[in-house]
Chain A
């Protein structure tokens, strides 16, 4: 006999049947029936956050680290609107989260009831899809569809808006969780078109100056192993986007580093001079292309992406291949293995190409050991902090970040060896993302080292979660690159507004962070020199603080800029390399 459950109980049961471990949430009137259902069960752990935005970033961090949808529960009205920034963040980076929002009862919808807001309407431009539950009996089906849509194809956030009457504890329904869903209007593609794959392989084998340009789709699509195999087979240079870091091992000689606005000299030059770009799971974002009209003038372009709408959106593509990166790369590899047995005909050209790239690398590549440098007045440099964290964690930590200079230093100098280790808001660029995202990752992997490389500006956008970390004993290591400024804004003002620092510094109004985190019950450490840094790093990543949240407040040279940096309106190869050194 099937069980009879209330809508609230069905909702929680359905989440359990989806294999959900955690709900990141915050209660309120419209969600109280659901909260009561949570209280009466043990299987799913609810994490009480301190702000709904943080809940969405936690779910997002959880999703990015595990590949499984993260789940959020908020109340109607302000709870729902607070979640919007996190939903938009997940949307821009295509991560699967399911956001359940309480709503006023169906019969009050449209009356401007207390805490009513049109959540489906307000979230519409930033969700993959959304549902408004009209009757309790719909709940199991809606949950099934929501998870399927969130996680399949190009993943993305899905909102389920749940009016309070549909979770009424006295209104019981038969509960059956559907085994599968099929939607006539939604059939994500998987394998690529065979003819296109052959064309792609032919173009690859004929290239003289090829570059493999891999993005977040490879990470999200778990296609890293296939990417590495194809790259190894061909021996071609690989660059990753900000979102793709970790898709290819960061310390591998075949790796050129990140490309784009703050990409490496060799990656940007190689792209610009290439005769073939093999783009996989990347979307030619304006932070990559610089001026799209000047993008890679000599290159033919192969583009593999699961989302047809990403192909030829910005840049004309010669060989589009729509399909799941993992499947398409495996298919291409199979063709490569049968068709290419000995050395490729283009081997000499590729050798010459590598020589050129190595010259670029030698001339202006990133310096991965900056221990000899000192900032103004002997101060600590942000690169040194990231390099110390990299060495202490062997390139294998989960590293989240926020938005600003610190994010770019982390991306440049922490060389990720594996996918899903680098977690940042590349698309929306959401300050305040890094810390709660790190919490989501730590929930997913309680025994792994989780580091949040942040800036004091970004950290202050969600620092209330220090309290949540105390409640759930999360031993996150927060590395605060404290330049006492909205550094990235200040850098732009230095470079484009003759140093007029309009509202990018806070005078002396910053807190003493180590005292502040101390008051939450955590460990706070302040360092101002490389020597001090080197003396505390072993403790932070060693046994002494293994079970503690540590906040390292690293005071760095406030005038350090991020280089290289694209020259606005130029091509990919047009960069400023250091103070006053354009290419």
Chain B
């Protein structure tokens, strides 16, 4: 099962490499990873998505907690949460294709953020599944470059990850 795990981490040199190293060392898989400092500059917040059965996820969480610089670990997928990813995608858009691309973009609520004679660069925000659906909806031959930010997430309502 796909899980989204949020981690509060001491904002120190080397802390991130311990998290990434743990996944490699224990043969766990990281699908996406995003990290940035939080409003408290001594902390970073990291969101990662991974796959695994319940036993594996339990071990991942325990081993994350065992890292000295990990302050909190939170499995967002255990309850109600919001998940967002941003994608920027450059597509060839000339002639008739131009209108077609525009239409698909509008349908998904995306924005065209850069334009030149031959290409559109589209930005779209949403849960990962929606972004994947958007890529699928475009004509594969037209897609020039895709960049995805990786998932970040937050619990709904009073599901809060803080110190």
Contacts and interface: CB of A to CB of B under 8 A. Distances in A.
Contacts of B163: 184
B147 interface: no
Number of chain B interface residues as a range: 10 to 19
A239 B13 CA distance: 45
Interface in A296-317: 307-309, 312-313
Nearest to B9: A185
Interface in B1-54: 10, 13-14, 17-18, 21, 25
Q: Which of B10, B14, B68, B69 has the most CB of A within 10 A?
A: B68
A46 interface: no
A234 interface: no
Interface stretch (B56-64, B93-101, B105-113, B128-136): B56-64
A121 B69 contact: no
A185 B25 contact: no
A186 interface: yes
B17 A121 contact: yes
A309 B68 contact: no
B21 A185 contact: no
Contacts of A313: 59
Contacts of B104: none
Contact of A309 (B17, B18, B63, B71): B63
B55 interface: yes
A427 to B, nearest CB: 15
B10 A185 contact: yes
Interface stretch (A123-131, A476-484, A486-494): A123-131
A125 B68 contact: no
B65 A308 contact: yes
Contact of B66 (A130, A183, A307, A312): A307
B71 A185 contact: yes
Nearest to B55: A312
Task: Classify chain A's interface size.
Answer: 10 to 19
B70 interface: yes
A309 B59 contact: yes
Given A124-B21, A125-B21, A184-B71, A309 B66 contact: yes
A132 B14 contact: yes
Classify the secondary structure of B's interface with A.
helix
Given A120-B14, A185-B10, A185-B70, A309 B62 contact: yes
Tell me which of A120, A124, A309 has the highest count of chain B C-beta atoms within 10 A of its own C-beta. Answer: A309
Contacts of B70: 185
A231 to B, nearest CB: 29
Contacts of B71: 184-185
A124 B66 contact: no
A374 B148 CA distance: 73
Contact of B68 (A149, A307, A312): A149
A28 B121 CA distance: 57
Contacts of B10: 185
* Leading 8 A-B pairs by shortest Cβ distance: A309-B62, A185-B71, A129-B68, A125-B25, A308-B62, A186-B68, A309-B63, A309-B66
Given A124-B17, A308-B62, A308-B65, 6 more contacts: A124-B21, A130-B14, A184-B71, A309-B62, A312-B58, A312-B59
30 contacts: A120-B14, A124-B18, A124-B21, A125-B21, A125-B25, A128-B68, A129-B68, A130-B14, A132-B13, A132-B14, A149-B68, A183-B68, A184-B71, A185-B10, A185-B69, A185-B70, A185-B71, A307-B66, A308-B62, A308-B65, A308-B66, A309-B59, A309-B62, A309-B63, A309-B65, A309-B66, A312-B55, A312-B58, A312-B59, A313-B59
